[in-house]
Amino acid sequence: MTRRAWLLMGALAALWGSNFMFVELALRDGLGVPSIVFVRALLAGIVLLPFALRRRALVGVKACRGWMTAIAALQIAVPFALIAVGQHWVASGLAAVLVASTPLFVALLSPWLMRADAPRGWAIVGVMMGLAGVALLFGIDLSGDWLLLLGGAMMLLAAFCYALSSFWLRTKVGAVNPVGVATATMLIASVMSLPAALADVPGSTPGLGTIAALVVLGAGGTGIAVGIYFSLIVDVGVNRAAVAAYLAPAFSVVYGVLLLGEPLSAAIVGGLALILAGSWLSAEGRAPWQPRIPGAIGAAREVAFEPPAEDLLAGRAWEGAARSQEP
Cα gap 296→183, rounded to integer Å = 27
**Residue 219 CA to chain centroid, in angstroms?**
15
pLDDT value of position 238? 64
pLDDT value of position 239? 62
How does DSSP classify residue 7? H
Q: Residue 183: which of 21, 54, 277 has the closest Cα?
A: 54
Cα gap 138→101, rounded to integer Å = 13
Which phi and psi angles does 53 have, rounded to 5°? -65, -40
If 0-12 CB within 10 Å is exposed, 13-18 middle and 19+ buried, where does residue 171 land? exposed
pLDDT value of position 187? 96
pLDDT value of position 1? 65
275 or 143: whose pLDDT is higher?
275
Per-residue pLDDT tens for 70-102? 999 999 999 999 999 999 999 999 999 899 888
Per-residue pLDDT tens for 266-307? 889 998 899 888 878 877 778 888 876 554 444 334 443 344
Domain ranges of the chain: 3-324
pLDDT value of position 216? 92
Per-residue pLDDT tens for 34-55? 999 999 999 999 999 998 999 8
Q: Model-level pTM?
A: 0.84
Cα gap 45→192, rounded to integer Å = 13
Cα gap 66→63, rounded to integer Å = 8
